[in-house]
DNA sequence: AGACAGATTTAAACCGGTTTAGAGGTCAGT
DNA sequence: ACTGACCTCTAAACCGGTTTAAATCTGTCT
């Protein structure tokens, strides 16, 4: 006994008007007498009518959904604190507009481009979020070719026809370095993210620049990969240096927490022997021992703004301005302390 | 210059047949001459024709999508290692069938039921995954009322018309306890998840039962909430007991890692003074110091199987059997060690 | 040659909305 | 009373597929 949902035809016959009039009334189009509109709305209400997404999708050629492609590969997804909060922010906008969020997870075997192609070919979505932006990101051209509107998270370095929602990673990174300088550190190392990522190089160049402004050079810059395993390895290499750094700035919390473990496993005390800072302020950052000094952005807000921006585009706006979010804030905890005395 | 995708009518005229024949050929229906089928398929191929999801959705009344509702509230989402991998597993099945995964994130203001209602009313999906199953879960009746097929992750305790995909949490928990018993521990405490959740009570009852089988009683059972903050609090309470436990078994890794931090902050050495074990084997478990002894399940596989099972239902199967996944395996690392000598 | 069964194929309705062209009605101006 | 302008509303086409009823084409049998 499936309960049939009322269609627009049911509403029409109940209100004693034509289908077309009902459609006009429900969409608030002008050209109908107010009395008729009221009558139709009342009828729709009594019947509990809800528009059929499927029918609307077909006739107006819109999906009423936005898409997000995520690569699963290097467990990137698996404990990234960014996406869940970002997605929640996106949803907070979509749910008020009756839109849905379609997720495409690209598995190991295929290229990320396939994810976008699938979304485009199946016409599942009206636009997509372009996350984890890379330098000379080929996905931009791909999306242009596919005719799929997009919003980039961060600003691409090449030409891009899409609006960008950006959060400047540099002030946060600078604040961390500044904080360490004030604690007296001079041998500060960095564990960066993969240089292919825009946000990774933004962080590492801010790291270098801030040190340079203080007349210092990095003790070392190791390329990490944002994963805990990579963080461990990079940390081991840094700790094996002839002149061990007294502080390490990581490009994200996962690497930092793993690095913290590696340092402790090597017999070092944090922060007495080594100061450690992360980036993201993920949930565990506050609760590991010692609490991790890090930088806090607002991924939920990022999601909200990205969704709003993408929707402007989807709604047909021609010139959608970029949006700059407030930069991430330094959160000082116990993992950073005054520089140890030189042993020399 | 938007490139128009070819429609079934284009294919029909190119092949010199009617729309209906094309539809038959493309769906492999019998009743067409083989030569005609070949001709049509060739024409479709040359035109690069792809079916329109929207049109198909409307005419066959299916969404070709499955739904997942997630509550964002207690940061549950934010660093849960289960969902990302689970979702990846689901996607690995959906992508081969041209289905999409629609995510509904329920934000703080509304009830979880609203998420399912939205999916049902908008007819966005053909079925949903019911995760984080609770005792006497009201969502089961809701989904029955909404007429939305579902698969439950874990077996509900009441009557349920839906197939269940289960992963028995008890062997893993028992293995942890057994491991601690073999190390000589006798005062073992447990930090449980919220008792409303089926998997939380499964773990805590297995904990109690395994101890009982060895003639022991729990040193204490604290109710946690699966979050790091909750893990910290529960740990502090346990450490303040007159007879401090020598080992703590946590219902998930997040609480365990937070508890590890709390123990270290309290000046204890793990595992010399206190053994700690988690559940999930999340990415960081391996890399904190000391590495966390925990229990590893396979959420990716869980996702695959759940998607397959739900699809059987969606495809119209009447009797879909439950599926039992292989239980989680103990992973021994450094956070568990021999019980400290009694000080008395 | 005509009848008939069986195999192919087509035309048209249908899914539930949106949109356009035009029909019908009202009213003021002449 | 006639005309044109304006307002309100309807009929029908359309989006791109699926599906059903019926038409057409074979070939066989009498």
* In a shared domain, residues A317 and A235: no
**Which H or E run contains A141?**
helix A138-146
- Report yes or no on A95 lying in a domain: yes
Q: Which are the contacts of B185, defined by CB distance < 8 A and separation ≥ 6?
A: B246, B247, B275, B339
Q: What is the largest CA-CA distance in chain A?
A: 94
**For residue B75, what are the domain limits?**
65-168+299-326
CA distance A27 to A71: 39
* In a shared domain, residues A42 and A185: no
Please provide the average confidence, as pLDDT, over all residues in chain B. 92
Distances (CA, A) of A58 to B9, B28, B54, B122: 16, 24, 5, 14
CA to C1' distance (Å), from B54 to D16: 8
Cβ atoms A8, A19 nearer than 8 A: yes
**Domain end position, chosen among A256, A276, A296:** A296
Nearest nucleotide to the CA of B33, by C1', is: C8
* In a shared domain, residues B157 and B185: no
The total domain count for chain A is: 3
* In a shared domain, residues B281 and B141: no
Q: Which residues of A146-169 are buried (b: 16+ CB within 10 A; e: fewer)?
A: bebbbbbbbbbeeebebbbbbbbb
Query: Using the CB atom, is residue A27 less than 7 Å from strand D?
Result: no
Nucleotides in D strand less than 7 A from protein CB: 7-21
- Report yes or no on A193 lying in a domain: yes
- DSSP annotation of A9 reads H
- DSSP annotation of A10 reads H
* In a shared domain, residues B174 and B293: yes
Tens-digit pLDDT profile for residues A226-275:
989 999 999 999 999 999 999 999 999 999 999 999 999 999 999 999 99
CA distance B208 to B26: 58
DSSP string covering A309-325: HHHHHHTT-S-PPPEEE
- Report yes or no on B233 lying in a domain: yes
* In a shared domain, residues B160 and B21: no
* In a shared domain, residues B199 and B227: yes
- Report yes or no on B3 lying in a domain: no
Cβ atoms A198, A134 nearer than 8 A: yes
* In a shared domain, residues A37 and A143: no
DSSP string covering A158-223: S--SS-EEEE-HHHHHHHHHHHHHHTT---EEEEE--TTBHHHHHHHHHHHHHHHHTT---SEEEE
| pLDDT value of residue A335 | 98
- Report yes or no on A338 lying in a domain: no
| pLDDT value of residue B1 | 44
| pLDDT value of residue B2 | 52
* In a shared domain, residues A97 and A182: no
**Tens digit of pLDDT at every position of chain B (344 positions):** 455 789 999 999 999 999 999 999 999 888 889 999 999 999 999 999 999 999 999 999 999 999 999 886 645 555 677 888 899 899 999 999 999 999 998 877 778 888 999 999 999 999 999 998 999 999 999 999 999 999 999 999 888 999 999 999 999 999 999 999 999 999 999 999 999 999 999 999 999 999 999 999 999 999 999 989 999 999 999 999 999 999 999 999 999 999 999 999 999 999 999 999 999 999 899 999 999 999 999 999 999 999 999 999 999 888 899 999 999 999 999 999 999 986 54
Tens-digit pLDDT profile for residues B241-299:
999 999 999 999 999 999 999 999 999 999 999 999 999 999 899 999 999 999 999 99
A69: contact with B, CB 8 A cutoff: no
* In a shared domain, residues B191 and B285: yes
Q: Is the pTM of this model over 0.75?
A: yes
DSSP-based three-state secondary structure for A132: coil
| pLDDT value of residue A1 | 44
| pLDDT value of residue B75 | 53
DSSP string covering A77-129: GGG-SHHHHHHHHHHHHHGGGT-EEEEEEE-TTS-HHHHHHHHHHTT--SEEE
* In a shared domain, residues A184 and A218: yes
Do the chains contact at B122 and A262, CB–CB below 8 Å?
Answer: no
Query: Using the CB atom, is residue B33 less than 7 Å from strand D?
Result: no
The CATH number assigned to the domain holding B316 equals 3.40.50.2300
- Report yes or no on B310 lying in a domain: yes
- In chain A, % of residues over pLDDT 90: 83
Nucleotides in C strand less than 7 A from protein CB: 7-21
Q: Name the A residues in 255-284 with CB < 8 Å from any B CB.
A: 257-258, 260-265, 282-284
* In a shared domain, residues A186 and A136: no
The CATH number assigned to the domain holding A28 equals 1.10.260.40
CA distance, residue B209 to nearest chain A CA (Å) = 30
For A291-300, what is the mean pLDDT? 95
Tell me which chain B residue has its CA closest to the CA of residue A86.
B78
User: Quick one: pLDDT band at residue A110, thresholds 50, 70, 90?
Assistant: confident
- Report yes or no on B20 lying in a domain: yes
Q: Name the A residues in 96-155 with CB < 8 Å from any B CB.
A: 98, 100-105, 107, 118, 121-124, 147
- Report yes or no on B253 lying in a domain: yes
Do the chains contact at A290 and B262, CB–CB below 8 Å?
Answer: no
Nearest nucleotide to the CA of B34, by C1', is: C8
A55: contact with B, CB 8 A cutoff: yes
Q: Taking the C1' atom of C14, which residue's CA lies nearest?
A: B59
Q: Name the B residues in 277-316 with CB < 8 Å from any A CB.
A: 282-284, 286-291
DSSP-based three-state secondary structure for A295: strand
């Amino acid at each position: 006994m499936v309960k049939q949902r009322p269609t627009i035809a049911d509403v029409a016959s109940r209100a004693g008007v034509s289908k077309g009039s009902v459609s006009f009334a429900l969409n608030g189009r002008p050209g109908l007498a107010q009395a008729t509109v009221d009558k139709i709305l009342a009828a729709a209400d009594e019947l509990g009518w809800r528009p059929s997404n499927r029918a609307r999708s077909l006739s107006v050629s819109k999906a009423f959904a936005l898409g997000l492609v995520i690569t699963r590969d290097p467990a990137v997804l698996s404990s990234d604190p960014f996406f869940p909060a970002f997605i929640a922010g996106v949803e907070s906008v979509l749910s008020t507009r009756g839109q849905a969020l379609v997720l495409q997870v690209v598995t190991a075997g295929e290229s990320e481009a396939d994810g976008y192609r699938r979304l485009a070919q199946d016409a599942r979505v009206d636009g997509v979020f372009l996350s984890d932006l890379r330098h000379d990101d080929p996905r931009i051209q791909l999306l242009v070719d596919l005719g799929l509107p997009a919003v980039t998270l961060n600003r691409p370095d090449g030409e891009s026809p899409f609006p960008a929602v950006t959060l400047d990673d540099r002030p946060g990174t600078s604040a961390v370095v500044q904080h360490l300088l004030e604690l007296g550190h001079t041998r500060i190392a960095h564990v960066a993210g993969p240089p292919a990522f825009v946000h990774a190089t933004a962080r590492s160049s801010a790291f270098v620049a801030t040190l340079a402004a203080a007349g210092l050079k990095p003790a070392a810059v190791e390329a990490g990969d944002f994963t805990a395993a990579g963080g461990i390895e990079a940390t081991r290499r840094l700790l094996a240096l002839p002149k061990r750094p007294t502080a390490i700035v990581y490009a994200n919390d996962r690497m930092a927490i793993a690095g913290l473990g590696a340092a402790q496993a090597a017999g070092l005390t944090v922060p007495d022997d080594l100061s450690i800072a992360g980036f993201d302020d993920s949930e565990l950052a506050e609760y590991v021992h010692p609490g991790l000094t890090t930088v806090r952005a607002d991924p939920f807000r990022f999601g909200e703004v990205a969704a709003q921006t993408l929707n402007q585009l989807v709604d047909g706006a021609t010139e959608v301005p970029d949006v700059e979010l407030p930069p991430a804030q330094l959160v000082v905890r116990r993992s950073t302390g005054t520089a140890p005395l030189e042993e020399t």
